[in-house]
Structure 1
Amino acid sequence: MDNFGTSGKRTHQGSTAGRAIELDFVRGLAIIMVMGMHFHTVSAGHPVLAWIEYPLKNFGREGVNLFFTLSGFLVGGLLLRQYSQEGRIDAGRFIVRRIFKIWPAYYALIAFHVLAGRHPTSTFLYQNLTHLQNYFGSSIAQTWSLAVEEHFYLLLPALLILLARWRAGATTILWTLGVTCVVVLAARCAAVADGNLEAAAAYTQYRIDSLLVGVMLATVYWMQPAYYRALAQRRALLVALVLGLVVWLVWLQPMPRMEESIGYTIQAIGFAALIMLALEYSGDLRRTMVYRAVAWIGIYSYGIYLWHSIALAPGALFIQKATGMELPVVVTWAAALAVQFIIAIGAGYVTTRAIEFPFLRLREALFPARRRPQEAVPPAQPNELPNERPAA
């Protein structure tokens, strides 16, 4: 959930400089999946509507996994780019810049819930203030994943600083991250075997591997560009990995023990392939209205993620009123989803513009990103994509 990407021809016209429309498209997909899972609907009994609703209601949790892998790629890329260029990690500056990005909007949400009194403070306040809501629970339920990412922001710099002191190269970093992912997977499988499915789904030590897979992709991207280019050119393999993910989600994901154990690993690999496909092969899709609309939603995905739960009560009320008025079920279904999406996206847009963007501008004034000339990774399609890497 970060604000950087490629520059030049691949950015939104009129939007924040340095954003990659491809990565915003991936963000948009992720947040639409999450909203679809949470929003209220009615049973319309129409086969076409059931087909539309199926991925929203069944794959919504996977939107969080997509956010995790994308965050690992983007946030890990910030540190790995610096390491590849300067041979060091400035963890302090990284953490301060993360604070400016994450905390203002996050604490505004907490303050809103304190003042609104929608939940007793005992159900969320100390949990969210300490960033331990994924362990202790929170009535602001969607914030559990932010705790995992906060812990990741502290653990990754510490690990990379240690590796930097050893002058570790890309191969050592990849092996370290890979072994860590295997250990996390083994621990998660053990938790599932013991019946601790809730812990396996939310605790940082069981979920951080999805982020680390993204960091592994960033390691190849920044430190082994030739290998990245070779992998990106294997379009059939990337498509196969994404299709394999879809098959998993359709046939095997409904089995909770499979989903909570190896499922997250399969998803992380598939989502890493999806990120590469989006970056390298979006082509003319970037010019379509649907692609650009999803990418526009992706710009405000963090704000939407924080605030989308406020759409639930109006959505439930609308369904109640529409049902009482005996409106056609199909109309109620469509209108209820539309109302909730509009409220959530509107809230995300307003809070992003009012809170997140001003603090990002302040961050750039006080702690500007340190940029150095860099050698570009040639794209998989030389005649189709410009020669820029994601940039902070």
Structure 2
Amino acid sequence: MKLLHGVGVSTKGRSVELDFVRGIAIFVVMGYHFHTVRTGHPWVSVIEYPLKSFGHEGVNLFFTLSGFLVGGLLLRQYSQTGRIGARRFIVRRIFKIWPAYYALILFHLLAGRHRPDTFLWQNLTHMQNYFGTSIAQTWSLAVEEHFYLFLPALLILLAHFRLRANALIAVMAGLCAIVLSARCIAVSHGDLVGAFNYTQYRMDSLLIGVILATVYWMKPEVWRMLVAKKRWLFGAVGLLLVWLVFATPDVALDESIGYTIQAIGFCALIMLVLEHSGRLRTTWLYRGLAWLGVYSYGIYLWHSLALAPGDYLIHKTSALGVPPLAAWLVVIVAQFFIATVLGYLTTRAVEFPFLRLREAMFPDTRRAVPADRPNAGAADNKIEGVA
């Protein structure tokens, strides 16, 4: 597997393929949140359609990819040693997630853009997905933080019984079925907010990613068999697109079985991108989205700050009589540019230095990946703070 080079010390060993998936996810999330100008041009609506329609699905993609990558960190260790180093795992997650996250919280506290009672204690305790927050995008970070505590505990318990890959998959599939059933019950009772935000209703998206990681690390022959079925993978991704277009407008349907269907489709996408990107890796669009994926955590944290400049430009272009089509282009490009620059700068200033400190204080102690592993090293690529 080719790796992404030339983007700094902290990106060493990253997978360009998985950063490409990250780039897709953060691009649609930004497009969903950004404000635009109504132009009346049908082709502009066509361009906006996937952005304005599938922003939530970008978060779902982040969840599944996070389960695959972060779960893979633990499963690789378990497959090599038969044990789970939960303490080191959690400490290393803290160094990855918390510095950039708390820098955002400190900024909002000092800037006074939100009343402290609308976000501070909720975000400090990682309970914002239950109690709400005026910093809206952080809800998904709470889901992942809870999962980072749940998953090591689950795997430690399962490792105690010396369970192998098939048993691990069966247990996690059973948990997914429980989560899906609970979410369907919540939706049937009209609790759409809970079904969308609460950790106990969203964990199956992450667990399905962990199941994929279990196959990758512990059943390489099954992985090779699955990824060899290229047409089936394309078919699964095609069915995912059909679901996104026709089923996601039905909120109750999407929030019940839809999240599970999406996670399965996203697993097919991950396998397809990892194994069959081919010459696409060399294209400017692929590399550009992969570059965006490197800074996706920082962009996700800070992209909401681009909304106010976007609103200013909307009002300013309208007052100056700028043609709607030109105004639309200026407004949307400006917001993408501002969010990307903020994400890049904060990642360089906060996230990467703490990652270097982490490697100095708590280096990765896992053994090297055997040469016969499929795409050795891909699951070392990390994703945190999606949404």
TM tier relative to shorter chain: over 0.9
Contact 2:236/2:265 (8 A) holds in 1: yes
Structure-2 residue corresponding to 1:277: 272
Contact 2:176/2:204 (8 A) holds in 1: yes
Q: Distance in 2 between matches of 1:373 and 1:318?
A: 51
Structure-1 residue corresponding to 2:385: none
Q: Distance in 1 between matches of 2:369 and 2:294?
A: 26
Aligned-pair CA distance for 1:14: 4.6
Structure-2 residue corresponding to 1:383: none
User: For residues 224-261 of structure 1, what are the alpha-carbon distances to aligned partners after superposition, in whole Å with 9 as ceiling and x for unaligned?
Assistant: 00000000101111111111110011111100100110
Aligned-pair CA distance for 1:200: 0.1
Q: Secondary structure at the match of 2:35?
A: coil
Contact 1:80/1:219 (8 A) holds in 2: yes
Task: Give 2:152's match in structure 1, choosing from 157, 177, 190.
Answer: 157
Structure-2 residue corresponding to 1:18: 13
Q: TM-score, normalised on structure 1?
A: 0.95
Q: What amino acid maps onto 2:24 in structure 1?
A: L
Within-5 A mapping of 1:1-392:
9-15=2-8, 16-376=11-371, 379=374, 388-391=377-380
User: For residues 357-390 of structure 1, what are the alpha-carbon distances to aligned partners after superposition, in whole Å with 9 as ceiling and x for unaligned?
Assistant: 00000000000011313324565xxxxxx66543
Contact 1:245/1:267 (8 A) holds in 2: yes
Q: What amino acid maps onto 2:288 in structure 1?
A: A
Aligned-pair CA distance for 1:42: 1.4
Aligned-pair CA distance for 1:326: 1.0
66-75 or 235-244: bigger deviation: 235-244
Structure 1 residues 304 and 114: alpha-carbon distance in aligned structure 2, compared to 1, 3 A threshold: same
**CA-atom RMSD in angstroms:** 1.1
User: For residues 324-361 of structure 1, what are the alpha-carbon distances to aligned partners after superposition, in whole Å with 9 as ceiling and x for unaligned?
Assistant: 11111111111100010010000000000000000000
Contact 2:15/2:378 (8 A) holds in 1: no
Q: Distance in 2 between matches of 1:326 and 1:11?
A: 44
Q: What amino acid maps onto 1:157 in structure 2?
A: P
Contact 2:370/2:376 (8 A) holds in 1: no
User: For residues 46-99 of structure 1, what are the alpha-carbon distances to aligned partners after superposition, in whole Å with 9 as ceiling and x for unaligned?
Assistant: 122111100000001100000000000000000000000010000000000000
Q: What amino acid maps onto 1:44 in structure 2?
A: T
Q: What amino acid maps onto 2:94 in structure 1?
A: I
Q: What amino acid maps onto 1:11 in structure 2?
A: L
User: For residues 95-115 of structure 1, what are the alpha-carbon distances to aligned partners after superposition, in whole Å with 9 as ceiling and x for unaligned?
Assistant: 000000000000000000000
Contact 2:13/2:377 (8 A) holds in 1: no
Q: Distance in 1 between matches of 2:202 and 2:14?
A: 27
339-348 or 45-54: bigger deviation: 45-54
List gaps (5 residues or longer) in structure 1: 1-5, 380-385
Q: TM-score, normalised on structure 2?
A: 0.96
Aligned-pair CA distance for 1:21: 0.3
Q: Distance in 2 between matches of 1:351 and 1:202?
A: 26
Structure-2 residue corresponding to 1:3: none
Q: Distance in 2 between matches of 1:159 and 1:225?
A: 22
Percent sequence identity over aligned pairs? 63
- Larger relative contact order, structure 1 or 2 (CA cutoff 8 Å, min sep 6): 2
Contact 1:376/1:388 (8 A) holds in 2: no
Q: Secondary structure at the match of 1:110?
A: helix
Q: Secondary structure at the match of 1:390?
A: helix
Contact 1:69/1:211 (8 A) holds in 2: yes
Q: Distance in 1 between matches of 2:380 and 2:70?
A: 11
Q: Distance in 2 between matches of 1:47 and 1:365?
A: 54
Q: What amino acid maps onto 2:4 in structure 1?
A: T
Contact 1:229/1:377 (8 A) holds in 2: no
Q: Distance in 2 between matches of 1:251 and 1:260?
A: 14
Q: Secondary structure at the match of 2:380?
A: coil
List gaps (5 residues or longer) in structure 2: 382-387
Question: Aligned pair count?
Answer: 379
Q: Secondary structure at the match of 1:374?
A: coil
Q: Secondary structure at the match of 1:41?
A: coil
Contact 1:66/1:268 (8 A) holds in 2: yes
Q: Distance in 1 between matches of 2:94 and 2:367?
A: 23
